[in-house]
Structure 1
Amino acid sequence: MAYPDKLLADDEEVVRHLHPHWLTVFWPLVAFLALVGLGSFGAALIPEGSNQGVFRLVVLVVVLVLAVPLVAVPLLRWRTTHYIITTHRILHRVGILSRTGRDIGLSRITDVSYTQTLWDRIINSGTLTIETAGDGGSTVWTAIPDSDGVQQLLNHMVEEDADRRAQESAGYIGQYYRGDTGPFEPGR
């Protein structure tokens, strides 16, 4: 079973599964290219001799040590950050070795807003702020691709969830007052 699907209830479906905007991995990729170039250049500068292999190995180790925090960690952080919108809730999961997560039922969402800087508008990204009922406070999702579209989608999903709950409640109350548990039949 794929990652977000194993988190879902039986009647729940993924509407949108997002990672942070792809430009969040731009500088790690530039760092990777720079490290490869500098490492190759440094290895080529080492003069021939009996220790040439050792010095080239040192250059390789330095490049690898620098690649971990500058390239590998940001790429893994991007890949392991999930923003998931389902038919019943929103989920946020983040973490490489240790994970944290937050689930918010659509019925608890009171407001969804987004902000975009000029640069965010150019690259079609932004920050979502999700207000909820209760003590949880605001949830802020940063570097969201198509943030205005996601904000509209969330507002639509909240309305659909409210309508679904109202219909379920009305059906249950109608069955309760009629004294039966079968489907509602008009005129009965």
Structure 2
Amino acid sequence: MGYPEDVLAPDEHLLLHRHPHWKMLFWPIVILVVGTALAGFAGGVISRNVTDETLAIGLLVAVLVVWLALLAWRVIGPVVSWKSTHFIVTDRRVLVRQGVLTHSGIDIPMSRISSVQFRHGLFDRLLGTGTLIIGSSSDEPLEYDDIPAVQRVHSLLYHQVFEVEHRHERWDD
């Protein structure tokens, strides 16, 4: 068993496991392509125009260091953040887990959910993503951005909450 199955309680069933929508990775990919092209261009200009070999090596190392720093800061970080963010729905609860070094999470039991909403603008609708808003019996509603197929997730959650309430009503009769 892998993640998220290993965090489930006995007899709990996984219904949905999602990472944020791939649109989170758009700018990191653009930065990777443009940064790599610029670093390659700079390396070519340096190797063609700088005649002093020591200076050329120093400049090439500087270009490499800047490229690696840009890659680590603006590409690898967001990709790791995307991969380590999990939105999970089971038959009993909603779980959200985030982080690598500092791991955080929240569990919302289905019985505590009082409302489920979604919001997406034109661009989000074109990409098939949106914001899921879960109201619970606690404080402010919780908003989760960039949920893929947000309408289907909304429908699934609404169905699960209704089924839980319906089962409790049957037991109360």
C-alpha separation between the residues in 2 aligned to 1:86 and 1:141? 17
Q: Which runs of 5+ in 1 are unaligned?
A: 174-188
Question: Would you identify which runs of 4 or more consecutive aligned residues in structure 1 move more than 6 Å?
Answer: none
Residue 29 of structure 1 is matched in structure 2 by 29
- TM-score under structure 1 normalisation? 0.85
Q: Is 2:148 the partner of 1:158?
A: no
CA distance in 2, matches of 1:22, 1:108: 30
TM-score of the pair, normalised by structure 2: 0.92
Determine the C-alpha separation between the residues in 2 that align with 1:132 and 1:161. Answer: 14
Alpha-carbon distance, 1:166 to partner = 4.8
| 2:119 equivalent to 1:115 | yes
Compare relative contact order (CA 8 Å, sep 6+) and give the higher one, 1 or 2: 2
Which residue of structure 2 aligns with residue 176 of structure 1?
Answer: none
Residues 166/7 of structure 1: CA separation in 2 closer, same or farther (3 Å cut): farther
Q: Equivalent residue for 1:6?
A: 6
Q: What is the CA-CA distance between 1:58 and the residue it aligns to? A: 1.2
Whole-Å Cα distance in 1 between the matches of residues 113 and 128 of structure 2? 24
Q: Does 1:124 align with 2:128?
A: yes
User: How many Å apart are 1:23 and its aligned residue?
Assistant: 1.0
Q: Number of aligned pairs?
A: 169
Provide structure 2 residue ranges, at least 5 long, that are not aligned to the other structure. Answer: none
Tell me the alpha carbon deviations over residues 43-86 of structure 1, each in whole angstroms, 9 at most, x when there is no partner: 11112432222221111011001111210111111111110000
Per-residue deviation, residues 142-163 of structure 1 (Å, max 9, x unmatched): 0111111110110011122234
Of all paired residues, the percent bearing the same amino acid is: 36
Q: Deviations over 1:14-59 (max 9, x none)?
A: 1000111111101100100111111111111112432222221111
Q: C-alpha root-mean-square deviation of aligned residues, in Å?
A: 1.6
* Structure 2 counterpart of 1:141: 144
Work out the CA distance in 2 between the residues paired with 1:117 and 1:31. Answer: 25
- Please give the alpha-carbon distance, in whole angstroms, between the structure 2 residues aligned to 1:54 and 1:120: 45
The 1-side partners of 2:9 and 2:169 are apart by: 20
Aligned-partner Cα distance in 1 for 2:163–2:4: 21
Partner SS for 1:3: coil
Equivalent position amino acid for 2:8 in 1:
L
